[in-house]
Amino acid sequence: MDLLRSLPLGLYLEQPQTWLHKIDPRVKFAWLMSFLTSYVLANSFWRVLLVVFLIITTLMARIPRRVWQQQMGWLLILSFFVLAIAAISPDPLGVDYQPRLPANEQILTQPLNSNNPVQKQVDEQKKYSYVLFHTGPVKVTRRSLDLAISLSTIIFTVIYSTNLYLLTTAPEEITSGIESLMQPLRRFKWPVTEIALTLTLSLRFIPLVLEEVQNLFRSVMTRAINWKKLGLKGAFKVWMTVAERLLENLLLRAEQMANAMMVRGFTSPNEHRVQWHDLRLKGRDWLAIATLILFWGVRLAIGTKT
């Protein structure tokens, strides 16, 4: 079992280089924040539109199918199950709704009159139905459906938008972009460079953690342990040993990384600066910014929840 392939979330795609790779990391970070914040106080139509927009962007970027198929597939399946379960769940309001019909039933038999307010109310009642689907124990209301769409779309949007950003942006580009955006905080004596360095090391350390977990998992599987004979207590001891070994290996990797930095004379990020990327906005970046402005214009026009 290869964890680096079965759990590809958060990994960077070095090849092929798509047009998403070439956009400035600061612009992509602004897009990511827009996806995560435009969801707030949005209607169901906009939330579904975000999911469609992410899927279309992935296809237009021509990211290899082997990369996005498994990630997007599992997320879509998970979102679908959340949608189905939440939609048929009991109404969270817990209120019995009664139809708003006039007390005098003779009004219903009167001739239609467009100026009659009671008649208008009856017409609206016929058009509006709070319960959308009801057969046996399965009942879908407007409230439960809205909640189901909200939960399912937020799972897909938050996870996949973040993953798409990490997939097309190198860790060094992410830290360089965040450090550039955090420059105003230097006035408040914030250690901006140290924060960027810590973030870089953290992103670089994620594949090492997956590799160590993968190696330990394979070592346990190759020993063909009879878990039935061990019992619950014996299995717990085995996994505690594996966890202890994993912690030791990770601490050893961290020490090796620290020694490598010290050998290269890295004593302080302010004294030993490494400029990975030249952050300059180009034509495609300005186009992405203009599209982002249009994105927010559409959000305010049709996506606001009423």
pLDDT for 112-159, tens place per residue?
A: 555 555 555 555 555 667 777 777 777 777 788 888 888 899 999 998
Answer with the residue of higher pLDDT: 74 or 121: 74
pLDDT at 49 over 90: yes
Say how far residue 140 (Cα) sits from the centre of its chain. 27
pLDDT band at 51 (very low <50, low <70, confident <90, very high): very high
pLDDT for 22 equals 87
Q: Which residues contact 183 (CB under 8 A, 6 or more apart)?
A: 192
How large is the average pLDDT for residues 9-37?
A: 85
Q: What is the pLDDT of residue 235?
A: 81
Task: Tell me which of 130 and 216 has the higher pLDDT.
Answer: 216
- Span 225-269, pLDDT tens digits: 777 777 788 888 888 888 888 888 888 888 887 787 777 667 666
With cut-offs at 50, 70 and 90, classify the pLDDT of residue 1. Answer: very low
| Least reliable range by pLDDT among 52-56, 60-64, 254-258 | 254-258
Tell me if 85 sits within 8 A of 151, measured CB to CB.
Answer: no
Q: Of 199 and 161, which is predicted with more confidence?
A: 161
| Chain centroid offset of residue 256 CA | 33
- Would the pLDDT of 206 be above 70? yes
Amino acid at position 96, single letter = D
Angle at 299 between CA 177 and CA 25, to 5 degrees: 10
Say if CB 174 and CB 10 are below 8 A apart: no
How far apart are the C-alpha atoms of 97 and 130, rounded to whole Å? 8
Quick one: pLDDT band at residue 53, thresholds 50, 70, 90? very high
> What is the per-residue pLDDT for 297?
93
User: 305 and 41 in contact (C-beta within 8 Å)?
Assistant: yes
Domains of the chain, by residue range, sit at: 1-96+126-169+280-306, 199-275
Q: How far apart are CA 235 and CA 99, in angstroms?
A: 59
